A and B are shown apart, each in its own frame.
Chain A
């Protein structure tokens, strides 16, 4: 609010010339009761870059992150000017845990994106798409929703045979999921990035339709909190 009113009284030319490097601190909190996040990627980039866009088909790089937790393709595909900070939690970010406060120099980049896969899901991920870093020093809190990449059927079968990267859920880091499920569904109608409908789950650890536990591996939005401190 304050930033907006300040900027609005500046001449437009001056405002646009203010894209200097900023020093920011970023901390991500997993708000869920029973969902792990794979290594979290924070990318500082320009205003026209998107790691994902709701309503648009996922890139193959986003697909690799959302289905298998692999952020390397997203970083390899990013512009040379982007500042990528990967793996904030040094591995999985457990339910209710927070990453260390991580310092980032944005260089000329004005926007932040954050992604990480949600486990156990087929292709669920936490997503922040191109959030403009405020110019004014202060602490800003952003809440993230759970998205579905739209690239994999949400069968909810844990399948580690191929690393899980192309089919099935690669695993449940909490070691609290089941096996032997027949599958919740074998089709998806929405193949664009969209808000995840949530896991269905069941209460059988040895069969049923789903390997995930309906009492543990579900969530309500928001699923993550990002605190950005502009210094």
Chain B
């Protein structure tokens, strides 16, 4: 509970800061015609899976943060096993326009606003990704979502599935899960699972007869696990 309360207050502070900024900085923004700006509201739809701070990126279609059937990058592994988005945010190869972190973890049922901007591009795509922290290496998100058809003032809503990074076995054992259900280990560079990204099979938990699991039925999830609405504001 302490974990959640702390994170919730960070989220609230970030939302307030964001609204203050937009209230006093709007006139200069309007003059900058060569900028694209998007407001994203993401909501955690899970029962008991806090989501680590989201990483948001705007990029060309040549960039992708993951692909089903391909091995996860180390940056994605760090996010999916430990909830640390720093390396995903730092990915800056050709075609990445901008990267922004969410303000903090998002508790079940909570929402957060993220604003992301870039220069003006016709080939513009979004990646949004976060860990389900009460798992070994589950993450949710969307990569390479085409935003080129989104005109100023219009919105789209998307529902997000759960992926398995394939970099850590879904043991659910004590000290392997970084979220409040366990407080265990996050990122570990060893890869002891299938080493491909796929949809997550779901967690088992002690209530399903897996007596060694630190998870219980409240940590279960289905797809979709989150939703987001993206509005182009400029």
Binding site for B on A (CB under 8 A): 29-34, 95-98, 198, 200-203, 209, 214-223, 225
CB-CB under 8 A for A31 and B68, given A220-B199, A220-B202, A220-B223 = yes
Please tell me if B108 contacts chain A, counting CB pairs below 8 Å.
no
- Which chain B residues lie closer than 8 Å to A29 at the CB level? 68-69
Q: How far is the CA of A217 from the CA of B196 in the complex (A)?
A: 15
Tell whether, in the assembled complex, residue B202 and residue A218 are in contact, meaning their CB atoms are under 8 Å apart.
Answer: yes
Whether B144 is near chain A, meaning CB under 8 Å from some CB there, is no
- A203 touching B197 in the complex, CB below 8 Å, given contacts A215-B170, A221-B223: no
A33 touches B69 (CB 8 A): no
Partner of A31, one of B166, B171, B199: B199
CA gap between A220 and B200 in the complex, in Å: 7
> From residue 182 to 234 of chain B, which have CB atoms closer than 8 A to chain A?
194, 196-202, 204, 208-210, 212, 221-223
B169 close to chain A: CB less than 8 A: yes
B40 at interface (Cβ–Cβ under 8 A)?
Answer: no
Q: Which residues of B contact A198 (CB under 8 A)?
A: 202
- Tell which of A30, A31, A217 has the most Cβ of chain B within 10 Å: A31
- Distance between Cα atoms of A30 and B204 in the complex (Å): 21
What is the CB-to-nearest-CB distance from A138 to chain B, in angstroms, rounded to a whole number? 13
Given known A-B contacts A203-B210, A215-B169, A215-B172, A220 and B197 have beta carbons under 8 A apart: no
**A-B contact count, CB below 8 Å?**
73
Taking CB atoms, residues of chain B closer than 8 Å to A201 are: 204
Report the minimum CB–CB distance from B33 to chain A (whole Å).
Answer: 30
Contact yes or no, B201 A219, CB < 8 A: yes
- How many Å lie between the Cα of A52 and that of B198 in the bound state? 27
The answer to whether A219 and B212 touch across the interface, beta carbons within 8 angstroms, is no
B222–A220 contact, CB under 8 A? yes
B71–chain A nearest beta-carbon distance, Å: 10
Q: A33-B166, A33-B201, A219-B201 are in contact. Are A214 and B194 (CB under 8 A)?
A: no
Q: How far is the CB of A44 from chain B (nearest CB, A)?
A: 26
Given contact pairs A96-B69, A203-B212, A32 touches B204 in the complex (Cβ within 8 A):
no
Q: Which residue of B lies closest to A198 (CB)?
A: B202
Q: Which residues of A contact B162 (CB under 8 A)?
A: 220
Please give, as numbers and ranges, the residues of chain A lying within 8 Å of B169 by CB-CB distance. 215
